[in-house]
Amino acid sequence: MGDKVYEVRKIKKKGRGMPLIGDKFPKLEVQTTQGMMKLPKAFKGKWFILFSHPADFTPVCTTEFVAFQKRYEEFKKFNCELIGLSIDQIFSHLKWIEWIEDNLDTEITFPVIADTGKVADTLGLIHPARPTNTVRAVFIMDPKGIIRAILYYPQELGRNMDEILRMIEGFNNIEEKGVAVPANWPNNELIGKGLIIPPPADVESAKKRKEQHTCYDWWLCHRNYYKW
């Protein structure tokens, strides 16, 4: 098992293979609808979400851009920025954004990367069956530029922006409070809006758990989100 892990790490060091959760986001200089940017430096000290879409002027992608924009201010409340990407030229992005504003009354205010294929290739976003398209993916990076989550979707299925926003809020709570986030939070079937307290590190702490927190057992304890 150890040898296999070592071989995987050797491959990654040679530049082969896509970035994984826990990796530093690769340093990239990109052309965007808001000028040249250096990633992840441009978002230093902030969470940021890089999301790729198959192509401009496509139905599902258009609905996603509108949905992201409608929630952009909500993302910002959690110190999070957005940046899109596809293998389209800059003039295509600009024209599509213009079309969205003119026809759907929505101004896209986050940057969109015009990729020649280099960025998508580095991140493993090239669709194997459609080499001219990027897959529908989401990378979530923390303020230190570390990849914290990666999501993939098929071309036919649009993303759930509320889930991505929930993840950012959850990550903020994880970092600020040192907790874990339960399934379907903040509407979990067992603890509602509660957040899970990390397991105890010793026997003495385990004995005191039920006195300090609301618990089903010493290994499953939580505190109410609004009473923190």
* Count of other CB atoms within 10 angstroms of residue 166: 16
Neighbours of 90 (CB within 10 A): 14
**Look-up: residue for tokens 């599902």?**
60
Give phi and psi for 161, each to the nearest 5. -65, -30
Residue 61: active-site member: yes
9 within 8 A of 23, measured Cβ to Cβ: no
- How far apart CA 217 and CA 210 sit, in angstroms, is 7
In the set 61, 80, 215, 221, the catalytic residue is: 61
Q: Dihedral angle at the C-alpha atoms of 52, 58, 64, 68, nearest 10 degrees?
A: 70
Beta pairing partners, 28: 39
Instruction: Indicate the residue type of 134.
Output: T
CA-to-CA distance for 71 and 101, rounded, in angstroms? 16
What is the C-alpha end-to-end distance of the chain, expressed in Å? Answer: 42
**Rounded CA gap, 138 and 151, in Å?**
5
- The set of catalytic residues is 61
